[in-house]
Structure 1
Amino acid sequence: MNLEWVGYLAATLTTLSFVPQAVKTIRSRDTSGISLGMYVVFIAGVACWFGYGVVLGSWPMILANALTFVLAAVILGLKLRHG
C-alpha cells in the first residue's frame, strides 16, 4: 500500500499553516515579535529536512521544505533589515 499521499497531506498542511504568518509579516514588515535565533535555527532545520528529502527522493518533503525555506528566509531577511 502506497502511503505517499500521507506525506503530501502532511507537507501541504504544515506549509500552509506557515503561509498566513509569512504573508502578514511580509505585508506589515513588522518583525518585532519574531525571535532572530529561532528563525536562524528554524531555517537550518528546514534546510536539513530538504536535504533529507532529496536523499530519500521524497517529493512531499522536498517541495514543502523548499517553499517553507523561501518564506522563512524572506522573513529572516526582513528581521535582519528592519529588526
Structure 2
Amino acid sequence: MTTALGLVAGVLTTASWLPQLRRSWRTRSTDDLAWSYLVMLSAGVGLWLTYGVAVADVAVVAANAVTLAALGALIALKGVGRGREEAAR
C-alpha cells in the first residue's frame, strides 16, 4: 500500500511538468524559466533520485527519473532558445 501511495504521488508530481514542457516545446520559449531555478531543481531531483536508488524505493526512483528527464528537456529547449537569440544579434 505504501509503494502504491508513493507511485500515485510520483505520477501526479511528475505529470505536473508535462503542461510546461508541452508549452515550451510548442512556443519554443522558455524565457520565463530562470536558469538558477532549473539548475537548483535539477540538482535536488537528482539527489532525490540518488536517495531513491540508495534505499531501493521504486516510487522515488521512477518519479524522480522521469522528472529529471523532463527538466533535461526544458534545459535543452532553453539552451537552444539562447543560441537562437545570440545568433539573431
Tell whether the structures are fold-level matches, with TM greater than 0.5: yes
Please give the alpha-carbon distance, in whole angstroms, between the structure 1 residues aligned to 2:7 and 2:49. 14
Mark the runs of 5 or more structure 2 residues left unpaired by the alignment: 83-89
Post-superposition shift, 1:20? 1.0
**Mapping of 1:8-19 within 5 angstroms?**
8-19=7-18
The Cα of 1:23 is off from its aligned counterpart by: 1.3
Alpha-carbon distance in 2 for matches of 1:32, 1:46: 22
Alignment of 1:66 onto 2:79: no
- Corresponding residue of 1:44: 43
Q: Distance in 2 between matches of 1:77 and 1:18?
A: 15
Corresponding pairs, count? 82
RMSD across aligned positions (CA)? 1.1
Q: CA deviation at 1:55?
A: 0.5
Deviation sequence 1:55-74 (CA, Å, 0-9, x none): 11111111111111111111
Q: Determine what percentage of the aligned residue pairs are the same residue.
A: 30
Segments of 5+ residues of structure 1 without an aligned counterpart are: none
1:19-78 superposed Cα distances (whole Å, 9 cap, x missing partner): 111111122210111111100111111110100000111111111111111111110111
After the TM superposition, list the runs of 4 or more consecutive aligned residues in structure 1 that deviate by more than 3 angstroms: none
